[in-house]
Chains A and B, each alone.
Chain A
Amino acid sequence: MTMQKAIVKMLQGNEACVYGALYAGVEFFAGYPITPSTEIAEGMARELPRRGGKFIQMEDEIGSIAAVIGAANAGCKAMTATSGPGFSLMQENIGYAYMTETPCVIINVQRGGPSTGLPTKIAQSDTMQARWGTHGDYTAIAVAPSSARECFSETVRAFNLSERFRTPVIVLTDEVLGHMREIMTIPQAGELRVVDRVRPDVPHEWYRHFEITPSFVSPMASFGEGYRYNVSGLTHDQDGFPTAIPEEIKTKLDKLRLKIERYIDEITSFRTEMMDDAHVAVISYGSVARAAYQAVRMARERRIKVGAIQPFTIWPLGEIRLRELLIPIKKVIVAELNMGQLVHEIRRVAPRHTEVFSLNRYDGEVMTPHQILDKIREVL
């Protein structure tokens, strides 16, 4: 047996997203460059044509996500990457992707807002937008890496989840993560799981594009394969035709929710650090999680019993598992680079005896370990 030599690379978070997407089998990228996400488009423009894929720079973000949805319906694994106002522009069509159950991946490298805000500075102020960005009722999936290695693996996971559940998946990173370079070993083929959408195995005339199955996920035929169906943003029946029948409307919306909620344990994932004997916990994601781990290390040197929890899946958060983690915790600090978004969700989920504190920074700078350490001391 020959061992393949491990490839070790210094990669920016954004570059790691590119290689992760390629590993997952991305075939199509449409985008409009915007700081601090541009390196993803650059990498895709370089790598995709070489591998027989397609890269297209569209006229704007609305066109970009539209092209991605088209490509995904034609059978491709498709994605885009954006930041700040670009993510806002995409929202209506992301809703179209939820409704038409189109698998695709949207990477949002977060910067400060609202509006054009801070193109070159970090924020996590799109946390709620990743959940509630488009109008209507739906259940969103958003994942959040905190290192170059995780940018790679979470992008792979985003594609897997989107294909598995026929839904758009958002990858939430940030400016610092996107631009920092970090050493990582590129996973070899077969090391990470790669999931492809389920295709129909029935005769053309039996096929229903939005069929209610026991898992609530419908097999997906590509355009041009001979299957007949309708794709519409209007609330539709199992064949995709608009409906006004209350029963069918409810069935459709329940399908969008249940296909994700029923598999929440499969979707959510956490990293915990020093939680075994902790009375205080810090919850954070993305770049802030790195500062939190450092702060925990520093606090432990001072014999403070504190731990850290990092959700890799921000939406859905996985409230049952999270509540279990918080049972022995008296005080929990939610550290985030916004005016307090994830903290509302933690307040909802935390056991009654757990006091929830909010630690916020929104001046374009990354949270420092000392800031978190100070907060830990303050709440003790």
Chain B
Amino acid sequence: MNAAGGKEQKGKKSKGIQVDSDRYEIRLSGSGGQGLILAGVILAEGLGIGDGKNVVQTQSYGPEARGGASRADVVVSEREIHYPKTMKLDMLLAMTQEACDKYYPDMKESGVLIIDSTLVTQVPTKRYYGLPFTRLAREEIGIVMVANVIALGAIAELTGIVSREAIRDAVLARAPRGTEEKNKQALELGFSEAKKLKRT
């Protein structure tokens, strides 16, 4: 199965982006119900508990968080994190067109954009990674709900920001009982699909 819509960005190829001595800012965005807040918490737990980094996770809160664009932000650093919110994103995951349009301007020029190519059809740049997370979840795993976990696998593989072991432990620690196997499968699928993307 090939990653439909997967497009390799030029320049920064397959080089894992290492956490530098200062901050790395991540936003996971989409619409309410896609599990992005949970994905943000899992990613933060992977970074903080698994990889032992300093990490802060924030999110939009309140009535405006329901419906429309939803987002979870994660700031990670080797040093003490002062400002807990994001300023300019090093990485953006966009799981809907609306989220992509809304948050793309918040990215650094060198930032990594990862989109769900099932739902994002108009990408504002040529420099991005696209994987059909929602379609993969539906067709390969059989549950649409795990699209967020596939995306986490892809983020780990594409950015190298979080180790595979750490993100695996973090996903399993949050997986409801009885869903561990499906979640593990979803994460592995994220790893492997992203790896293919890097090779093309």
Q: Which residues of A contact B (CB under 8 A)?
A: 8-10, 36, 119-121, 175-176, 179-183, 287, 290-291, 293-294, 297, 366, 368-370
Contact = CB atoms under 8 A, between A and B. Distances in A.
B124 interface: no
A253 B49 CA distance: 50
B82 interface: yes
Interface string B33-69: 0000000010011001100111111110111000000
A114 B53 CA distance: 39
Closest 4 CB pairs of A and B: A120-B62, A183-B48, A294-B83, A293-B82
Interface of B: 41, 44-45, 48-49, 52-59, 61-63, 81-85, 87
Contacts of B62: 119-121
A121 B60 CA distance: 10
Contacts of B44: 10, 181, 183
A38 to B, nearest CB: 12
B83 A183 contact: no
A180 B57 contact: yes
Provide the main secondary structure of the chain A interface. mixed
B99 to A, nearest CB: 20
A39 B53 CA distance: 25
A175 B48 contact: no
B82 A294 contact: yes
Given A36-B61, A120-B61, A180-B56, A287 B87 contact: no
A175 to B, nearest CB: 7
A175 B65 CA distance: 15
A368 B56 contact: no
A141 B6 CA distance: 58
Nearest to A289: B82
Contact of B84 (A119, A120, A121, A290): A290
Given A180-B58, A290-B82, 19 more contacts: A8-B48, A10-B41, A10-B44, A119-B62, A120-B62, A120-B63, A176-B58, A179-B59, A181-B41, A181-B56, A182-B81, A182-B84, A183-B48, A183-B49, A183-B53, A290-B83, A290-B84, A294-B82, A369-B87
A183 to B, nearest CB: 3
A275 to B, nearest CB: 16
Contact of A366 (B49, B54, B57, B85): B85
A369 B45 CA distance: 26
Contacts, number: 64
Nearest to A119: B62
Nearest to A120: B62
Contact of B45 (A10, A297, A370): A10
Contacts of B87: 368-370
B164 to A, nearest CB: 19
Nearest to A9: B49
A179 B61 contact: yes
A303 to B, nearest CB: 18
A179 B58 contact: yes
Contact of B55 (A176, A182, A291): A182
Contacts of B58: 176, 179-181
Q: Which of A36, A120, A182, A290 has the most CB of B within 10 A?
A: A182
11 contacts: A8-B52, A10-B41, A36-B61, A176-B84, A180-B57, A180-B84, A181-B58, A182-B56, A290-B83, A366-B85, A368-B87
Contact of B57 (A8, A10, A368, A369): A10
A175 B49 contact: no
A290 B49 CA distance: 22
Nearest to B23: A294
Contacts of A293: 82-83
Contacts of A180: 56-58, 84
